[in-house]
């Protein structure tokens, strides 16, 4: 009886060890963030003028499903998926931007990617470079509606901090303690500050 009782007391501890979620972790390390470059920086663009963006990140990651501890080429392109929100700035109650869905998107390098769930971000499946060292994409964004805009990350990227980002455009919309707040598919998103985002106006 005592032996059975001891087993019952120890059973939960044994199960916790056997089911430890930290053991046997298998997967790929997170990719480095894309640094997005604006090829034709300007504070103001004309209607239908194309804003060209390009970005790349290393294709070499540590794969925890293999025995090697060195980064290796990852051929699953979806691991390197990136996305951007094109936002039109405004002064709505509790929000100061809205997702702008009428932009024309040109995929020069990489291709469009669609989710099965609701998402109004611009999602790009990148392309592996010829030397297999990087995943990259290049896309153009064209807008016909006058107003003030910004482009912010939807996934793992930020705009080149060494480039001018026209942050002063946001001054007239900075009503939420230096935050950009918008909604997409019923969810509210917040981006802090202005660094890493790109602001511009359309005449």
pLDDT in tens, 139-180: 999 999 999 999 999 999 999 999 999 999 999 999 999 999
Residue 6 lies in a domain: no
Q: Give domain status of residue 64, yes or no.
A: yes
Residue 23: the pLDDT is 52
pLDDT interval class at 60 (50, 70, 90): very high
**pLDDT over 50 at 9, yes or no:** no
Amino acid 7: pLDDT: 41
Q: Is residue 98 part of a domain?
A: yes
pLDDT, position 17: 40
Angle at 57 between CA 202 and CA 45, to 5 degrees: 10
Q: Average pLDDT, whole number, for the chain?
A: 89
pLDDT in tens, 22-47: 555 677 788 999 999 999 999 999 99
4 within a domain of the structure (yes/no):
no
Please say if the pLDDT value at position 105 is more than 50.
yes
Range of the domain at 130: 23-202
CA dihedral 65, 69, 71, 76 (to 10 degrees): 0
Question: What residues have CB less than 8 Å from 113, skipping those under 6 apart?
Answer: 78, 81, 123, 124, 125
Structure tokens at 36: 């997005």
Q: What is the pLDDT of residue 51?
A: 98
The answer to the question of residue 18 being in a domain is no
Q: Could you tell me if residue 190 is inside a domain?
A: yes
Whether residue 19 is predicted with pLDDT greater than 60 in this model: the reply is no
Q: What is the pLDDT, as a whole number, of residue 86? A: 98
Q: Over the stretch 185-203, which tens digit does the pLDDT of each residue have?
A: 999 999 999 999 999 999 9
Q: What is the pLDDT of residue 151?
A: 98
Count structural domains, the chain: 1
Query: Is residue 10 a part of any domain in this protein?
Result: no
Tokens at residue 58, please? Answer: 């290393």
For 134, residues 6+ apart whose C-beta sits below 8 A from its C-beta are 56, 57, 58, 59, 128
**11 within a domain of the structure (yes/no):** no
Residue 10 has pLDDT above 70, yes or no: no
Instruction: Report whether pLDDT(69) > 80.
Output: no
- Bridge-partner residues for 166, per DSSP? none
Of the candidates 179, 173, 184, the one whose C-alpha atom is nearest the C-alpha of residue 195 is 179
CA distance 63 to 66: 6
Burial 170-184 (b: 16+ CB within 10 A, else e): beebeeeeeebbbeb
């Amino acid at each position: 009886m005592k032996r059975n009782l001891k087993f019952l007391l120890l059973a939960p501890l044994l199960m916790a060890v056997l089911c430890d979620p930290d053991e046997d972790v298998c997967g790929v390390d997170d990719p480095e963030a894309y640094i997005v470059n604006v090829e034709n920086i300007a504070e103001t663009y004309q209607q239908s003028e194309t804003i060209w963006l390009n970005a790349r990140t290393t294709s070499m990651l540590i794969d925890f499903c293999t025995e090697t501890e060195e980064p290796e080429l990852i051929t699953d392109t979806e691991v390197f998926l990136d996305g951007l929100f094109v936002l039109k700035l405004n002064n709505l109650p509790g929000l100061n931007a809205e997702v702008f869905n009428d932009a024309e998107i040109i995929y020069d390098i990489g291709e469009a990617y669609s989710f099965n769930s609701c998402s109004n971000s611009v999602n790009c499946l990148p392309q592996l470079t010829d030397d297999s060292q990087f995943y990259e994409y290049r896309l153009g964004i064209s807008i016909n509606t006058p107003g003030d805009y910004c482009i912010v990350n939807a996934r793992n990227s930020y705009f080149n901090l060494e480039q001018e980002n026209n942050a002063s455009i946001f001054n007239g919309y900075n009503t939420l303690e230096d935050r950009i707040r918008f909604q997409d598919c019923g969810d509210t998103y917040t981006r802090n500050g202005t660094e890493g985002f790109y602001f511009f106006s359309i005449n």
